[in-house]
Copies of this chain bind each other. A is one copy, B any other.
């Protein structure tokens, strides 16, 4: 997934604000649903972020075109762990290991088989 850095993503330090890399990663996760005409929130349930570990390697600047890559690290019955990174021209700028729980009405439930194809695309 390609992401352009716009003014809204930067701050007075002239670079991408640190919280916005999390937005970029969420866009990539959601786009796997949207591009299929699906929603991340369905009657089956929805994913919520439980934990993340992020490393900031290099800053990104205004107008740059970034790549977001996602890799499934671990799949459990009711949660998954992804490795997501943001790169520029093949150089990694940001990397995040994020654990997502699958919930229905606020409680952890088994991830339905129908979501496997989407998750595996991550």
Q: Which residues of chain B are near A23, meaning CB under 8 Å? A: 6, 8, 19
Q: How near does chain B come to A79, taking the closest CB pair, in angstroms?
A: 12
Q: List 27 A-B contacts (CB under 8 A).
A: A4-B34, A6-B26, A6-B30, A7-B11, A7-B17, A7-B26, A8-B11, A10-B12, A12-B12, A12-B14, A12-B15, A12-B41, A12-B62, A13-B41, A14-B14, A18-B22, A19-B19, A19-B22, A22-B22, A30-B63, A39-B62, A39-B63, A48-B56, A48-B59, A51-B54, A52-B52, A52-B53
Q: Answer whether residue A33 sits at the interface, using C-beta atoms and an 8 A cutoff.
A: yes
Q: Which residues of chain B are near A17, meaning CB under 8 Å? A: 7-8
- Is there an interface contact between A19 and B8, defined as CB atoms closer than 8 Å? yes
Q: Which residues of chain B are near A122, meaning CB under 8 Å? A: none
Q: How many copies make up the complex?
A: 4
Kindly report which residue of chain B lies nearest to residue A15, judged by CB atoms: B12
Interface size class of A (residues with CB under 8 A): 35 or more
